[in-house]
Structure 1
Amino acid sequence: MIDAHHHLWDPARREYPWMAGTALDPIRRPYTVDDLRAVTKAAGVHATVLVQTVSSPEETAEFLSIAEAEPVIAGVIGWEDLEAPQIADRLAGLTSPIVGIRHQVENEPDDEWLLRPAVLAGLRAVAAEGLVYDLLVRTSQLPAAATLAGRLPELRLVLDHAAKPPIAAGEWEPWASGVAALAAHENVVCKLSGLVTEADWTGWEVGHLRRYVDHVLDVFGPARLLFGSDWPVCELAASYELVLDAAISLTGSLSDAERLAVFEHNARAVYGLDAGGETSSRG
């Protein structure tokens, strides 16, 4: 199996603005490669994709260095300033195993941030470099994401956490329609990740997630879904193994081949990972 979405961090070394508030105290500690190796080995996961946590090129450089030394990390989703005039040169200077770029768009007050001319120019550079762009958006930003997908069909987009459906509130629209509109673009795939922390952290059950997972299965299909743990954020609501168990249960209606695609083959194809999990090439 390949875990297409996890993080590492150390609050003693770097500030994480999204960790503000006492609710995140349970995960406000260092999470290291040793921790990652322990949880993935126990779960039978043989390769992972490490994803940025802050808007910092320094973090990207650190993650690439960590991944180069750690066999389980097959790819890195880093951060670069998409609006920088020299973005193409910056992207070209990133070393293996870089596989994609992400910005925490969900924190941007402008719902159409993705459509700013400078951002679009940066995203064209991402596509030209053969990299993937991970979309971290809120429901209100889904229309802009769908417009982006239509304008840049050459850019492979990965929707993180299924756009964070309002599971705890039990709400459906406009999330469901927004995700369906985005899924209509063939250059978009979706991560089956981050859902337990959109549910009630202390009272969630697999059944609470099922309606939302069935929807993304319906609009994307198993050929455009990939599993991600969102560890260690998931520990606010569930352990690594519980997240994996929930994902396996929620995909129980799939054939063996479809489930293999969701839990391994799609991540290889989307991020350019070879059979061993390592990065093969960009694009």
Structure 2
Amino acid sequence: MLIDTHLHIIDRLALRYPWLSGEPDLDHDFLYETYAAEARRCGITTVLHMEVDVDPAAMQAETDHVAGIAKREGSLIAGAIVSCRPEEEGFAAYLERQKADPFVKGFRRVLHVVPDDVSEGALFRENIRRIGGSGLTFDLCTLPHQAGRVTALVDLAPDVQFVLDHCGVPDIRSDAFEPWKAGVAEIARRPNVICKISGVVAYADAETWTAETLRPYIEHVIASFGWDRVVWGSDWPVCTRGGGLSTWVAATHAVLSSSSEAERSKLLYANAQRLWSL
């Protein structure tokens, strides 16, 4: 059993994605049907959709679009982590609408595509604190140099369950283990953060990486957070930069091969089931 907590659907007929113009390898349609056919072969049984930084005016439209796919017979999609703008005045009302929708499991605002001081704004932090007690999570998509800002934000909102995406986005291609290692360990000291082991093949050299290349990064995350605070995600289609979904699933199983069945089950599905009531 495998729960994928990080699927992106890109449908350019349905939604606008302004950032895609600068990413030619992703500036294509990556539709649910394509993903699902491969996911089932990999043993993936349940999926959370992750927002794809659509045009801000279309944030609700993205959620509605994915919810429509989830309603199809046999769909793997069980919920969504939706886009948000905590730095804006309208967030409080937006939060209340999302809390009323059981399909919505959490929020994300990608922080490495905006100035660092966005997460330091008083309104941003006040709105993040509003999430506390809602049962909704907040995904942190940041770069290693932002670890200090991550811990500052997390410490200001102890009642919010944060999720650190993509192992904290290590630069595996450049073998930049430090200071990423120290930053992840410091973030992991906060009990209200879990870490998503998702799509790190995209940060390795596409031509040369092996499971052993990824092993020290994945094992450091597990050692820092513990087996009860890690979940798995594909980051499809971004993972196609490093070999694709099937390759990433195989590498995950290779790295985890020496762990116990109980440990693997926590990372591969049980923690996600508990965290998002899947």
- Fold conserved (TM > 0.5)? yes
Alpha-carbon distance between aligned partners in 2 of 1:176 and 1:87, rounded to the nearest angstrom: 33
The alpha carbon displacement at 1:140 in A equals: 1.5
Within 5 Å, which residues of 2 pair with 1:67-146? 67-69=70-72, 71-94=75-98, 95-110=101-116, 112-146=117-151
Structure 1 residue 65: deviation in Å? Answer: 3.0
| 1:24-48 CA distance string (max 9 Å, x none) | 4343321222112201111111101
Matched, 1:198 2:199: no
Partner of 2:43: 44
> How many residues get paired?
270
1:207 to 2:225 alignment: no
1:27–1:235: 8 Å Cα contact kept in structure 2?
A: no
Partner of 1:244: helix, strand, or coil? helix
Structure 1's unaligned 5+ residue stretches are 274-283
Q: RCO (CA 8 Å, sep 6+): is it higher in 1 or 2? A: 1
**1:83-130: CA deviation from partner (whole Å, max 9, x where unpaired):** 2323222122122210000011111122x4323211112212222432
Give TM-score, length-normalised by structure 2.
0.91
1:28 paired residue number: 27
Q: 2 CA distance for matches of 1:59 and 1:33?
A: 13
- Offset of residue 12 of structure 1: 4.6
**Map of 2:153 onto structure 1:** 148
Which residue of structure 1 lines up, in the alignment, with residue 12 of structure 2? Answer: 11
Tell me the SS of whatever aligns to 1:106.
coil
Q: Name the Cα RMSD after superposition.
A: 1.7
Separation in 2 of the partners of 1:198 and 1:76? Answer: 24
Contact persistence 1:164–1:198 (CA under 8 A):
yes
Deviates more, 1:64-73 or 1:241-250: 64-73
* TM-score when normalising by structure 1: 0.90
Query: Could you tell me how far apart the structure 1 residues matched to 2:65 and 2:91 are?
Result: 19
Superposition pairs of residues 174-253 of structure 1, within 5 angstroms? 174-253=179-258
Is the partner of 1:168 in helix, strand or coil?
A: helix
Percent identity for Structure 1 against Structure 2: 30
Matching residue of 2:62: 59
Q: Is the 8 A contact 1:64 1:98 kept in 2?
A: no
Cα distance between partner residues in 2 of 1:18 and 1:207? 33
Structure 2 unaligned regions, length at least 5 = none
What is the CA distance between 1:6 and its match in structure 2?
1.1
SS at match of 1:269: helix
Shift of residue 13, structure 1, vs aligned partner: 4.7
